[in-house]
Amino acid sequence: MGEKLKKEMHTIDGMEIYCEHDFNGRPPILLLHGFLSSTYTFHRVIPILQRNFSVLAIDLPGFGKSEKCQSFIYSYYNYGRFVKSCADYFKLDKLSIAGHSMGGQIALNAVRVMPERIEAVVLLGSSGYLQKSRRLWIYSSYLPFFDRLISAYIHKRGVLNGLKNVLHDPSIITDEHVEEFGRPLAEKEFYKVLCRLLRYREGDLTSKQLKDIKVKALLLWGKEDRVVPVHIGNKLAEDLPHAEMITFNQTGHLLTEERPKEVCEAIISHCCPT
């Protein structure tokens, strides 16, 4: 199935956005990556999902191969509005959305923007209950050269250490992983985007806001997730009115890499019409 996947740039909301898609007549699902990542997050699950879905994966504005726009307001709600623009652009009237980590919060915001068009939302190790950036960091984001400080911090940490943090089993890390997850970090303009994200990112949705979401939700979590611990998923499952939670043993934050088959089976079971 993978050979049918198109990889191309599209102009959406005036920005050049990298998209991978296969519109094959099946129900559509939109995949949203997380922080410091890209569509590569889903490289192991897309070929499986193509058997049951029309798949659309995007590099969010500012990330991956997409434009590093310096006028876009990098808030979760604005990202949610952008997701609606993507659905409009590709003429997706009804769709499911799956978001990993930060992409989960963006997916939830997209549900708030267009609830009548979302069939189901899938949260994979989604961020949750984080507060907005501290005032000191917001003020610092306006300082000249602050983007260089962010760049220095991320590069000091290193791609390999980052991968070890998001995987339960570091032995599966390959040179390709290091190259692909490191690629977006090589662009200087990316760190200006991170400054703007730090400046505009509001807090995650509150319990009250989550309780207003009526769309069915599937939460998938690695029990050994060190980035977003499983108790965050349990709390999200309690706050979302129509939620189902599935956890995976010996699995970290990047469960699309460690449990692609199981993740896809759960998504297909949850989102495909019976």
Reported as a single tens digit per residue, the pLDDT across 65-117 is 999 999 999 999 999 999 999 999 999 999 999 999 999 999 999 999 999 99
Q: What is the pTM of this model?
A: 0.95
Tell me the residue length of the chain: 274
pLDDT, residue 274, reads 54
In the DSSP assignment, the letter for residue 130 is P
d(CA 206, CA 198): 19
* 7, two tokens: 């990889």
pLDDT, residue 271, reads 85
The number of beta carbons lying within 10 Å of the beta carbon of residue 131 is 9
d(CA 14, CA 72): 10
Which residue do the tokens 């200087």 mark? Answer: 188
pLDDT, residue 222, reads 98
Active site positions, annotated: 101, 253
Residue 9, strand partner residues = 18
Mark the ranges of the chain whose per-residue pLDDT is less than 70. Answer: 1-3, 273-274
Nearest to 89 by CA among 56, 112, 52, 120: 56
